[in-house]
Amino acid sequence: MNTFARSWQHAVVTGGAGFVGSHLCSALLAAGTAVTCVDDFSTGRRENVSPLLEHPEFTLLEADVSEPFEVGRPPDLVLHFASPASPADYLRLPLHTLDAGSLGTRHALELAHRAGARFLLASTSEVYGDPQQHPQNERYWGNVNPVGPRSVYDEAKRFAEALSTAQAETYGTDVGIVRLFNTYGPRMRGHDGRAVPTFVRQALAGEPLTVTGDGLQTRSLCYVDDTVRGILAAAAHGLRGPVNIGNPAETTMLELARLIIELAGSRSEIRYIERPTDDPAVRCPDITLARDKLQWEPRVPVEDGLRRTIEWFRADRAADTAPGT
């Protein structure tokens, strides 16, 4: 299926200055869609969207989606991506994270419903928690600690899924839900707490790569261009979902650290540190639904994606900015 099988006139992207959101804005503009980016810059970076500011079809609205907001013209697509999404951010901003998943989702849904627009929620593999099913398919309900340190993000997204589903059932709003797995690539922040940017930043600085626990826990890495294709395919298809968007190629954190050292040409060593509370032991998507319904699967091999990411980090030292600065 062509990702842009539906021709969108105007898309609203909440969290559009964030990592994935800014790539979505760029892809939509390239396809001829006018874009309104809504962001409060609590975790997004202005640098991510500054190249778009001169585009005649791009509008930047600085607003917190936890408060009611209005856009200049009715959209036919609303992509709700506003939320702290990295451990450093949601642990620093727990209430803001919960507000983005609850109030923010409600306001984005209301905007879509008023305009008769397609609504797509960015959910996450974190709704599966520390899974007891492997790989994880969309029918699995998850294993989440509702009061643990990660709960502010996990439960915000689980609530957002429930709210979006209730909105669709109650009012007929055209809702879709995508669960994103471990997206990586350019525009990540070096101190956001996720493995790829942390390891890349450390390797380029010649610092030890901090692997948590024994490093045998797994993740499944999906390059951002592939993730964006999957998101827009889900938007165009009309599938409610939820649908997993991720790479079923699984790697341990120790393997990932060693690969990044090699690709960066670094002399860094591995240093083992304490593993965070409720850190999932495994993470791997079953993408059968995405393959069957969306004709989507990732294309970018992990080594190629990591090379692109490393080169971007070499060129953009601002990515080394710590959270909240």
DSSP, res 201: H
> Taking the alpha carbons of 250, 148, 200, 214 in that order, is the dihedral positive or negative?
negative
Give 6's strand partners: none
Does 153 participate in catalysis according to the annotation?
A: yes
Taking alpha carbons only, the member of 251, 252, 271, 264 closest to residue 209 is 271
Strands (E), the chain: 10-14, 34-39, 58-62, 77-80, 118-124, 174-180, 183-184, 209-212, 218-220, 222-223, 243-245, 250-252, 270-273
The secondary structure element, H or E, covering residue 306 is: helix 302-315
Alpha helix stretches (DSSP H) within 62-141:
87-92, 94-99, 105-115
Grouping H, G, I as helix, E, B as strand and the rest as coil, residue 308 is helix
Calculate the CA 247 to chain-centre distance.
Answer: 13
Residue tagged active-site, from 90, 153, 184, 223: 153
Amino acid, single-letter form, for residue 101: G
What distance in Å separates the CA atoms of residue 217 and residue 307, rounded to the nearest whole number? 23
| Cα dihedral value 213, 219, 223, 227, nearest 10 | -130
User: In the chain, how many H helices and how many E strands?
Assistant: 11, 13
Rounded to the nearest 5°, which phi and psi values hold at 264? Answer: -85, -10
Grouping H, G, I as helix, E, B as strand and the rest as coil, residue 38 is strand
The secondary structure element, H or E, covering residue 228 is: helix 224-237
So which residues are the catalytic ones?
A: 153
